[in-house]
Chains A and B, each alone.
Chain A
Amino acid sequence: MSDGNRGPGFGRSEAAQGYLLVATPLAYALLLLAAPLGAILLFSFWSQDYLTIDTALTLKNYREALSDPLYRQLLLRSLLISAAVTTATVLAAFPIAYYVSFHVAPERKAMWIFLITIPFWTSYLIRVFLWKVILGYNGVFNTTLLGLGIIDEPLTFILYNANAVVITLAHAYAPFAILPIFVALEKIDRSLHEASQDLGEGYLSTFWRVTLPLAMPGVVAAVLIVFIPTIGDYVTPVLVGGPDGRMIANMIQTQFLRLNNAPMGAALAVLTMAMVTVVALVFVFLNRRYLRGRQ
């Protein structure tokens, strides 16, 4: 092929091809991510009076959201619930991931991981209902404890409150936390543990000085994977949360659909996102520190 073919026309068509290639994901990103985000942001600076939307820009919604104790309480509670869920999930996930990585024969690890994902074979809604059956007044848990004579009357603090939300969510997100921690543990060179023992450390101090720091990227990933979606969860609080277990997402839904105050809902959504961003940044920063010196 001669050089004549590689004229400007060729270059242009190449560039065009490039744009075409980029166009689809770009359109996708714009349409499905940027546009809704922009719309929410814009809405949050408007105001609404019954059915009429006032498009004059105002900070009124934010002022209200941050001063009204109801919203403040909901935001705080969402933060606390997802912090509790994240802590519980990661603390429960770590020993499981550790066990599979260090104490399961290599040829059986895949099967264990497979078993861990089994709960995902049923829909989330069904799993939540199952938790209602387990935690309810006449549920499995209470009946068992009553039968064993450990309690005299059914426990009520386990359903229709924040505890139930934490338990249900922690169960739902467990595999998401187990997997990244498992992967991080798998990547640790086993001779490092032996080196630590050889240098005089026991099992526990080897864990603190070698295993945990090296597993940290997995732990941070697990924290983010659990924390980010749980703070905005609204199905679980509705089903098992009761009045005390309601979270900010329920309020956002109410604002949009029942109170016809989309701008207020939008402002609350933006505040929630801001909170998530701050927490995520803290963890990303932590991860950087742990990854220092390793590539």
Chain B
Amino acid sequence: MKDTRTEARPIITLEAVEKYYGDYHALRGISAEIRQGEFFSLLGPSGCGKTTLLRTIAGFEDLSAGRLFIDGQDMAGVPANRRPTNMVFQSYAIFPHLSVAENVGFGLRRSGLSRAERAAKVEQALAMVGLAGFGGRAAHALSGGQRQRVALARALILEPKVLLLDEPLSALDKKMRDQMQVELRRLQRQVGITFILVTHDQEEALIMSDRIAVMFEGQIAQLDTPQMLYRRPVTRQVGEFIGVMNFLPARATVTDETHIEVDVSGLGRAVIGPDQLPGGWHPGQTQSVGIRPETMSILFPGETTDRRVATGTVEDLAYYGDMTYYEVRLDGGDRPMTISMKNLVGRPVLERGTEARVAWDARSLVLFA
């Protein structure tokens, strides 16, 4: 899936944004552009500053330094109630003293619409999130999933330029969460509003987003499409955080700048392209090479390939039904690495201790600093 929105204009521009809580440096020089109409995610471990960044955009936190533009307008000094953003809070923040319809229509007071027009709009917003006919319910009589839909309808009814969602799915059970991921994505395409989702769940971010900013300790480590993040992480930390990645010690020897040769422990020598060395190369030093489990495969007796082949031993395995995850120690390698295989018809599941030939490609390697 190629990103077709490359040309879209930025709806949010962050320029060297800093945030201090007292002495604590929560955001450290965040610069990014979020494009009109995209589904954007802030992904990172708990405490890395995702919520802080989202609240900064919403106007609940002041910037310590740097600038924030929404749709070209500098947001310095603009309070939350006058920003063209709306938020779905992590706790949903449903007003307990109001009915569902009153909650959804809360922000329409200043809209200048008549009572009847507002009621129609509320009903329309409720229908959009699958809660048609729930308007009269008391807020406390709702389930977690329904509360979340009310929070969504309440924010979307105001047609914000940007919808901010702070871990909206984390309070839901697994099944509900899977369903809401699909629904949120569908809803975003339908309304065309820019969504910024905060999540610590990498799978959720990959499934839902057009682009993802991966954050660690108040900084954006990488901002990219899900595919690029997965295939070409720029640091070992990003590669580790998203999916599973094996790391092998490697040394780079450079013949010329477009032709970098790495010697990977256990795999052997390979030539990699310039897009495969985000951390640069440091001849003479030991660097690490990352490789995803599914980019390698174990050859079965008699199977031939024109890919590169290394040899090793199956040390352990985990059978998942559709997949088997092998821990294979390559000859000459110091640690076992994970290789995942689809359990295709006629392909046996190997036993522990089996000698295995591992096929791999130089294109799947990423050389980190």
Task: Give A contacts to B, CB under 8 Å.
Answer: 189, 191-192, 194-202, 205, 209-210, 213-214, 290, 292-295
A81 to chain B, nearest CB (A): 33
12 further contact pairs, Cβ within 8 A, besides A195-B95, A199-B154, A201-B81: A191-B89, A191-B93, A192-B95, A198-B155, A199-B155, A200-B82, A205-B109, A210-B95, A213-B97, A293-B97, A293-B98, A293-B138
A108 to chain B, nearest CB (A): 17
Given contacts A292-B138, A293-B138, A294-B140, contact A194 B96 (CB under 8 A): no
Chain B positions within 8 Å of A197 at CB level: 59-60, 79-81
Determine which of A194, A205, A214, A294 lies in contact with B80 in the assembled complex, contact meaning CB atoms within 8 Å.
A194
Chain B positions within 8 Å of A292 at CB level: 97, 138
Contact across chains for B87 and A189 when beta carbons are under 8 A apart: no
7 inter-chain pairs at a CB distance below 8 angstroms, sorted by A residue, are A194-B89, A196-B95, A198-B81, A198-B85, A198-B155, A213-B97, A290-B97
Residue of A whose beta carbon sits closest to that of B164: A198
Chain A positions within 8 Å of B99 at CB level: 293
Given contacts A200-B107, A293-B138, A294-B140, contact A195 B89 (CB under 8 A): yes
| CA distance in complex: A295, B138 (Å) | 11
Given contacts A210-B95, A293-B98, A295-B140, contact A198 B110 (CB under 8 A): no
Task: Give B contacts to A, CB under 8 Å.
Answer: 58-60, 79-82, 85-87, 89-91, 93, 95-99, 106-107, 109-110, 138-140, 154-155, 158
| CA distance in complex: A197, B96 (Å) | 16
Centre residue among B82, B89, B93, B140 by max chain A CB count within 10 A: B93
Contact across chains for B158 and A189 when beta carbons are under 8 A apart: no
| CA distance in complex: A177, B101 (Å) | 34
| CA distance in complex: A122, B152 (Å) | 55
| CA distance in complex: A200, B85 (Å) | 10
| CA distance in complex: A203, B109 (Å) | 15
| CA distance in complex: A191, B147 (Å) | 15
| CA distance in complex: A209, B106 (Å) | 9
Residue of A whose beta carbon sits closest to that of B79: A197
Chain A positions within 8 Å of B82 at CB level: 200
Determine which of B58, B138, B139 lies in contact with A198 in the assembled complex, contact meaning CB atoms within 8 Å.
B58
Contact across chains for A194 and B60 when beta carbons are under 8 A apart: yes
Contact across chains for B107 and A199 when beta carbons are under 8 A apart: yes
Chain B positions within 8 Å of A191 at CB level: 89-91, 93
